[in-house]
Amino acid sequence: MTRKSEEAGRSTIRDVAARAGVSASTVSRVLGGDYPVSTATRNRVLRAVRELDYVADARARAVAGAGTPTLAFVLEEITGPSFAHMAYGVEREAARLGHLSLVCSTDGDVRRELEFIEMMRAQRAAAVILVGGAADTAEYRDRTRRVADSLASAGSRLVLCGRPPLGPGAPVTVIEYDNEGGAHALVAHVLAQGHRRVLFLGGKPDHTTALGRERGYLAAHRARGIEPDPALLLHGDFTRDSGHRLMRQALARGLEFSAVAAATDMVAAGALTALHEAGLAVPGDVSLAGYDDIPFARDLHPALTTVHVPYEELGRLAVRTALGHRAESAAEHLLLGTHVVVRDSVAAYGGD
C-alpha cells in the first residue's frame, strides 16, 4: 500500500464526531481533557475513537496546547560531553514528570535560537532552558529579557543554565555552578604542589564561562601573593583541537611553565597529546589539570586531575525548578557547588 493510500484510509476527527453523534469541537475537548464534558458524551467519543482506531495529529495538538506537555532544551552545540550530560538530566527528569523534551542546537546562531524559542512559545512549551555561556552585553540582557517576558506571557518559563543573569524583576530562573570557585580550588591545588608558572589554556575572552574560570586562575595565584605572568594566559575555545593548538604554540614560543590548567577536559586532552608529541611526560615533566570531570577524564593516561561539575543534576534541577514555578514569578538564582577530583596528572614540582 502506498503512503498516499495509507493516509487516505486514516480516520479523521470528523469521522469520530459523526460516529459519536457530536461536533468535532466536542471530540477535541474530550481528547484534550481541558474542558468539562459529560460522562456519557465522553464515553461515546472514546468508544468511537477505539472503533475507528483514530490517532490525533500530534503536531496539531501541540499547537493547540493539548497532548504531552513539552520542555525545550537549547544549546550552542550538542557534541560537547558536558552538554550531553546536562541534556540527559533534562530528558530523564522531564520524562519522570510526564513531559516531552525537545533539543535544539543553534551553532551559536542567535537568530536560530530566537526562532526556536518563538516556536516553543507558540506551542505553549512549559519551559525553555538555555544552556552555555554568552557575552554579557547590554544587547544580550535586553534580548533575553524580551524572550523571558514573551514566554511568561504565554504561561511558560525561561531557565538560564550557565548564562549571565538578567538582573532583578525578570521572570527567569538562573541555575549556575561555582565556576570561578572551582577554578580557584583547582589552581590552588596545583600551586600547593610547588608550581609557580602555570600555563592557562582558556576559552573565548568574552565568554562568561571562560571568564569565570580565568578569574579563578588569577585569584588562586593572588591569594598566594603571586602575580601570574600575562604571557601564560592563552585563549582559544573549549575544544580538543584548541588545546592541542595552544599547547603547540606555547612550546614553539619557548614559554616556561611546569604545569598547565586547561579550561575544559577536552582542552586538556588536546594539550596532553601535544605534550606527548613533544616528548614531554605528564606529570614527570609537566603537570596537567582540566575542568568538567567528563567520564573519559579518568581514562586518559595519566588519569586527569579536574573539577567535577554536576551537569546531570543541573539539567534535572532546571526541569524541577521550571515546572515548580509560576511563569510570571520573579527572578530566581540557584548555585550548585563544584569540587576538585585529584588523580594522577598533577605531581609535586621537581625543578629549582
For 268-301, the pLDDT digits (tens) are: 999 999 999 999 999 999 999 999 999 999 999 9
The whole-angstrom separation of Cα 106 and Cα 75 is 6
Which of 206, 176, 213, 204 has the alpha carbon at shortest distance from 289?
213
For 95-152, the pLDDT digits (tens) are: 898 888 888 888 878 888 888 888 888 778 889 999 887 878 888 888 888 888 888 8
Quote the strand ranges of the chain, DSSP E. Answer: 70-75, 100-105, 127-131, 157-161, 172-177, 198-202, 233-235, 259-262, 287-289, 306-308, 332-336, 339-341
Check residue 65 and give its pLDDT: 46
DSSP, res 231: G
Check residue 77 and give its pLDDT: 76
Looking only at the bridges linking them, the beta strands covering 100-105 and 332-336 are: unpaired
Check residue 80 and give its pLDDT: 77
The H or E element containing residue 151 is helix 138-153
Check residue 218 and give its pLDDT: 98
Regions in the chain scoring below 50 on pLDDT: 1-8, 58-66, 327-328
Q: Which class for 261: exposed (0-12), middle (13-18), buried (19 or more C-beta within 10 A)?
A: buried
Residues 6+ apart with CB under 8 A from 290: 262, 264, 265, 267, 268, 269, 297, 304, 305, 306, 307
Which of 292, 289, 293 has the alpha carbon at shortest distance from 305?
289
Q: Which class for 341: exposed (0-12), middle (13-18), buried (19 or more C-beta within 10 A)?
A: middle
